[in-house]
Chains A and B, each alone.
Chain A
């Protein structure tokens, strides 16, 4: 095919791709479009599948059989981790305005040099990976031009200016610089970019499926046909399950699982570009489905290539060679575009991510450190980012041009994966382990990368002849256990071997650093925020501890320089709205405002640069670990308070309602008191009236001797009644007010009851009331604690009531005393008049006297039962009544029994005191 046609096709495809991006970006505010966000997100994740996948899977399947699957099984197994790990990553990055992995790590471990280290390591690990995409594109281009000519090396452009890959690099760099980095904010969501990536994903899937269908159903008669022919040709790598090594598979899956989450391009689309955590749910099923589809035809194509193509065709080229050599030119073009789209998507996103890292963590901190204001501006920030894009592209191109040519596609991809897995311990520690610290992370990364370089990079260098072959054959200086390909004598395929040892050394460094070295206060602070992010999200500015002096105007100047005046004012407004507190524009700012501003700046220049900016302005103080613990405790208490506020206001409402009720009751008590006083005076007036009348009669009128004696006797009775009433009123008042103290002596209840009965016996005899007693045998041994006189008063009240209201004939009173566990139960049963059911609830009320239908004047003061009740209750007991009108009443008194062991305890206490 003519190279011009292919170049035009490639350019046309890029034009369409950028067109999609521009179109979507322009309709930014379109609500209808935002509904597609979750699909864009889900379809952006297959940026994981690169040109390496597109061409290399078939290649690897052809050579190693099922091993190619490990690269996809890892991400599939990572799906359940989406919600656990990725959601947490998303939340932290959103809250802290983090856009790259080095930002994430250095913010957590509060170390600027760590950010430089991670950036450099990632760039080293990923540049080769970008370069193999360029290689894939240029190889496929050559392959198309030469229509299946088999040697790719001979057709490589001899000069840079005749090399297609060079122009591709330039076009993609321009796209990133003018489209993606057009806006300042790096954490802002680039929907246009996501749309382009998703578009790429669809194109590469369709292209690969097209090749698969072509091979399976046009060149062969379906899956069955291929496998039968393979059996006939005895190509056994897919039928021999012994080729699957457990540990190797485990390591490769672990590798691809961590790559799926931590590769810069994955982190960029999955974490930084995520606009809604819920989108993970869609991605959770769309992405696995995508992987299933794109892998569906890998094996048939590999087998088809093996069966149909000559053995000197590079298996990596089968995808393209099968349609080309079968004269299916249109399909070949579609396939070429598929591979091209896979490469461009990977290059674009990886370059964005790497250039952000490079700019934010290396370039800008170096520029900002001087504290010169002219440099601390948005122009510099954007320019540095653009320079970083060019640097990354150039690095990738020159690596491709002078190094990658020498290596096969697949091994470079896996070596990149092995580099990325070195960050897994740091990231998991940042997310879940508060004690992980910067020493652990640094030591782990250095150790891990050192071993990675030794076991994975050195052998490839040997392979291209830059180091002597003896290194691999005999080990360095002939020490066989240091052989880079079989460290400590371990025999395993190179990638699994390198992964295994680099991870082991990484973990040793990581744990020893974290466990044996101290954590700084600031680090602890961030650890709390990271690990407990879900409870801190809304309050993070209050929880990042910062101590120092910083003048508002200085801070404002920097934020205006970097954010622009409008944005900076908007942010200030938002701050006031969020915290309801204005900023003192002439004085110093508090930690909360500093954190808020720093987060804003992080969104533009990264967290490291923003930290450097702030510290260049302020007089910062070191934070002690214990301060962090204290402040976090306080702020978590504040948070708790905040969340309880609503509950409390509800509580307050309830309380005020209660208060109103209490008020009502108090009013009721007032009225009760009034009623009581007027009842008392009324009750006093009656005897007084009688007395006065008789006295006046005796004075004014002639009376017989007999009358005089009678009247005087009546006067006496009424005076007694008055004084009794007065006594009882005072008594009851004292009892109710709790003013009188009851002497609590050990008493024999039997003795108290017996004495009451004895004193009432004459009266009972006069009124012909028969008396029965039923006492527990054990009663004689039991004790109660109390006031003998008061208890007698209570019992006598009840006995005299029974006598007072006794029937005229066959009246009886029965007293039962039972001991039940800790209680003494005294029951007085009579067969007297009883109480009407409507009155039974009020019988213990003061002055409630059941006035009956008969015209007899009640005989008491109306205070006896209330007094009895008060006395019983003062002794910790209770009194109840059951009665039926004209059939008698049953009063039950329960009193606590005094235990001997209590007496012993008391005695002991006494001894101790003595």
Chain B
């Protein structure tokens, strides 16, 4: 089973995504901020990390940077899920090496489809 990590500071978003991705056949981990996310990434090496950007302390961009700079995590794919919808924010996300950038509110169907594609 593919490991997927969901990182968001909004508890209800975490709950909904956890439900959705579990249903979609993933082994789901959740984190409420960047620091917690990095701990889990180091421990679990998830194939996919779904990242919010605006989070306290360590933000999503930093987590993405961390992943992309770590040789052990070359296979890890990063999906941004963000309320930051400006073009420059999106460009910054891709420039940091993200595989996908989805604007909130997103379609759960599209998300599920994309991460399933990434996992296979």
A682-B54, A685-B83, A689-B104 given; A696·B109 CB < 8 A: yes
Task: Tell me how far the C-beta of B108 lies from the nearest C-beta in chain A, rounded to whole angstroms.
Answer: 4
Contact of B32 among A687, A689, A857 (CB under 8 A): A857
B16 touches A855 (CB 8 A): no
Complex CA–CA separation, A689 to B12 (angstroms): 9
Within 8 A of B (CB), among A673-717: 678, 681-682, 685-694, 696-697, 700-701, 707, 711, 714, 717
A853 touches B57 (CB 8 A): yes
A690 touches B83 (CB 8 A): no
Select from chain B the residue with minimum beta-carbon distance to A850. Answer: B56
Complex CA–CA separation, A693 to B81 (angstroms): 12
User: Which of under 10, 10 to 19, 20 to 34, or 35 or more describes the interface residues of A?
Assistant: 20 to 34
Q: Mark B68-106, 1 if CB is under 8 A from A, else 0.
A: 000000000000010111100000000000000000111
Within 8 A of A (CB), among B1-34: 9-13, 15-17, 19-20, 23, 32-33
Select from chain A the residue with minimum beta-carbon distance to B11. Answer: A857
A697-B20, A714-B15, A855-B33 given; A686·B108 CB < 8 A: no
Q: Does B120 contact A (CB under 8 A)?
A: no
Select from chain B the residue with minimum beta-carbon distance to A718. Answer: B12
Task: Tell me how far the C-beta of A725 lies from the nearest C-beta in chain B, rounded to whole angstroms.
Answer: 13
Contact of B105 among A685, A700, A701, A853 (CB under 8 A): A685
Complex CA–CA separation, A718 to B56 (angstroms): 21
Task: Tell me how far the C-beta of B73 lies from the nearest C-beta in chain A, rounded to whole angstroms.
Answer: 23
A686 touches B83 (CB 8 A): yes
Complex CA–CA separation, A681 to B82 (angstroms): 12
A689-B13, A690-B13 given; A697·B57 CB < 8 A: no
A700-B108, A857-B32 given; A686·B17 CB < 8 A: no
Q: Does A901 contact B (CB under 8 A)?
A: no
Complex CA–CA separation, A686 to B109 (angstroms): 18
Q: Does A851 contact B (CB under 8 A)?
A: yes
Within 8 A of A (CB), among B31-80: 32-33, 36, 54, 56-57
User: Which of under 10, 10 to 19, 20 to 34, or 35 or more describes the interface residues of B?
Assistant: 20 to 34
A-B contact count (CB 8 A): 73
A694 touches B16 (CB 8 A): yes
Max chain B Cβ within 10 angstroms of own Cβ: one of A689, A707, A853, A855: A689
Complex CA–CA separation, A201 to B116 (angstroms): 123
Contact of A690 among B12, B36, B57, B85 (CB under 8 A): B12
Contact of B108 among A693, A852, A855, A857 (CB under 8 A): A693
B105 touches A689 (CB 8 A): yes
Task: Identify whether the interface residues of A are mostly helix, strand, loop, or mixed.
Answer: helix
Complex CA–CA separation, A336 to B11 (angstroms): 125
Complex CA–CA separation, A700 to B54 (angstroms): 28
List, in ascending order, chain A residues with CB within 8 A of B16's CB: 690, 693-694, 697, 711, 714
B36 touches A855 (CB 8 A): yes
Complex CA–CA separation, A682 to B83 (angstroms): 5
List, in ascending order, chain A residues with CB within 8 A of B84's CB: 682
Task: Tell me how far the C-beta of A327 lies from the nearest C-beta in chain B, rounded to whole angstroms.
Answer: 121
Contact of B13 among A693, A711, A852 (CB under 8 A): A693
A693 touches B20 (CB 8 A): yes
B19 touches A714 (CB 8 A): no
Task: Tell me how far the C-beta of B120 lies from the nearest C-beta in chain A, rounded to whole angstroms.
Answer: 20
Within 8 A of B (CB), among A447-504: none
Contact of A697 among B19, B81, B83 (CB under 8 A): B19
List, in ascending order, chain B residues with CB within 8 A of A707's CB: 19
B10 touches A857 (CB 8 A): yes
Complex CA–CA separation, A690 to B13 (angstroms): 5
Task: Tell me how far the C-beta of B55 lies from the nearest C-beta in chain A, rounded to whole angstroms.
Answer: 9
B11 touches A688 (CB 8 A): no
B104 touches A688 (CB 8 A): yes
Complex CA–CA separation, A249 to B50 (angstroms): 116
Select from chain B the residue with minimum beta-carbon distance to A707. Answer: B19
Select from chain A the residue with minimum beta-carbon distance to B54. Answer: A682
B83 touches A689 (CB 8 A): yes
Complex CA–CA separation, A692 to B110 (angstroms): 13
B32 touches A855 (CB 8 A): yes
B32 touches A692 (CB 8 A): no
List, in ascending order, chain B residues with CB within 8 A of A691's CB: 105
A686 touches B32 (CB 8 A): no
Select from chain A the residue with minimum beta-carbon distance to B24. Answer: A701
Task: Tell me how far the C-beta of A704 lies from the nearest C-beta in chain B, rounded to whole angstroms.
Answer: 11
List, in ascending order, chain B residues with CB within 8 A of A714's CB: 12, 15-16
List, in ascending order, chain A residues with CB within 8 A of B20's CB: 693, 697, 701
A700 touches B109 (CB 8 A): yes
List, in ascending order, chain A residues with CB within 8 A of B36's CB: 855
Max chain A Cβ within 10 angstroms of own Cβ: one of B10, B12, B57: B12
B32 touches A693 (CB 8 A): no
List, in ascending order, chain A residues with CB within 8 A of B10's CB: 686, 689-690, 857
A851 touches B56 (CB 8 A): yes
Complex CA–CA separation, A678 to B108 (angstroms): 24
Task: Tell me how far the C-beta of A701 lies from the nearest C-beta in chain B, rounded to whole angstroms.
Answer: 5
Select from chain B the residue with minimum beta-carbon distance to A852. Answer: B56
Select from chain A the residue with minimum beta-carbon distance to B110. Answer: A696
Within 8 A of A (CB), among B103-119: 104-109
Q: Mark A704-748, 1 if CB is under 8 A from B, else 0.
A: 000100010010011000000000000000000000000000000
Select from chain A the residue with minimum beta-carbon distance to B14. Answer: A690
Task: Tell me how far the C-beta of A876 lies from the nearest C-beta in chain B, rounded to whole angstroms.
Answer: 37
Complex CA–CA separation, A816 to B54 (angstroms): 39
Complex CA–CA separation, A686 to B13 (angstroms): 8
A717 touches B57 (CB 8 A): no
Complex CA–CA separation, A693 to B52 (angstroms): 15
A696 touches B32 (CB 8 A): no
Task: Tell me how far the C-beta of B58 lies from the nearest C-beta in chain A, rounded to whole angstroms.
Answer: 11
Complex CA–CA separation, A857 to B8 (angstroms): 10
A682-B83, A697-B19 given; A692·B105 CB < 8 A: yes
A688-B104, A855-B32, A855-B36 given; A681·B12 CB < 8 A: no
Complex CA–CA separation, A143 to B16 (angstroms): 140
Contact of B104 among A678, A685, A696 (CB under 8 A): A685
Complex CA–CA separation, A687 to B11 (angstroms): 10
Within 8 A of B (CB), among A2-25: none
Q: Mark A832-862, 1 if CB is under 8 A from B, else 0.
A: 0000000000000000000111010100000
List, in ascending order, chain A residues with CB within 8 A of B105's CB: 685, 688-689, 691-693
List, in ascending order, chain B residues with CB within 8 A of A718's CB: 12
Complex CA–CA separation, A696 to B16 (angstroms): 10
List, in ascending order, chain A residues with CB within 8 A of B9's CB: 855, 857
Complex CA–CA separation, A717 to B12 (angstroms): 10
List, in ascending order, chain B residues with CB within 8 A of A701's CB: 19-20, 23
Select from chain B the residue with minimum beta-carbon distance to A849. Answer: B56
List, in ascending order, chain A residues with CB within 8 A of B85's CB: 681, 685
Complex CA–CA separation, A853 to B9 (angstroms): 12
Task: Tell me how far the C-beta of B86 lies from the nearest C-beta in chain A, rounded to whole angstroms.
Answer: 8
Select from chain A the residue with minimum beta-carbon distance to B112. Answer: A700
B17 touches A693 (CB 8 A): yes
Q: Mark A663-678, 1 if CB is under 8 A from B, else 0.
A: 0000000000000001
Max chain B Cβ within 10 angstroms of own Cβ: one of A691, A693, A697: A693
List, in ascending order, chain A residues with CB within 8 A of B107's CB: 692, 696
B11 touches A697 (CB 8 A): no
Select from chain A the residue with minimum beta-carbon distance to B106. Answer: A689
Complex CA–CA separation, A855 to B40 (angstroms): 15
List, in ascending order, chain B residues with CB within 8 A of A852's CB: 56
Complex CA–CA separation, A852 to B57 (angstroms): 9
Complex CA–CA separation, A691 to B85 (angstroms): 18
Within 8 A of B (CB), among A232-270: none
Q: Which 6 A-B pairs have the closest CB atoms?
A: A685-B83, A693-B16, A851-B56, A690-B12, A689-B105, A689-B104
Query: What are 11 A-B contacts defined by CB distance under 8 Å?
Result: A681-B85, A682-B54, A687-B12, A688-B105, A689-B104, A690-B12, A690-B16, A696-B109, A701-B23, A711-B16, A851-B56
Given contacts A690-B10, A717-B12, 17 further A-B contacts (CB under 8 A): A685-B104, A686-B10, A691-B105, A692-B106, A693-B20, A693-B105, A694-B12, A696-B108, A696-B109, A700-B108, A700-B109, A707-B19, A714-B16, A851-B57, A855-B36, A857-B10, A857-B32
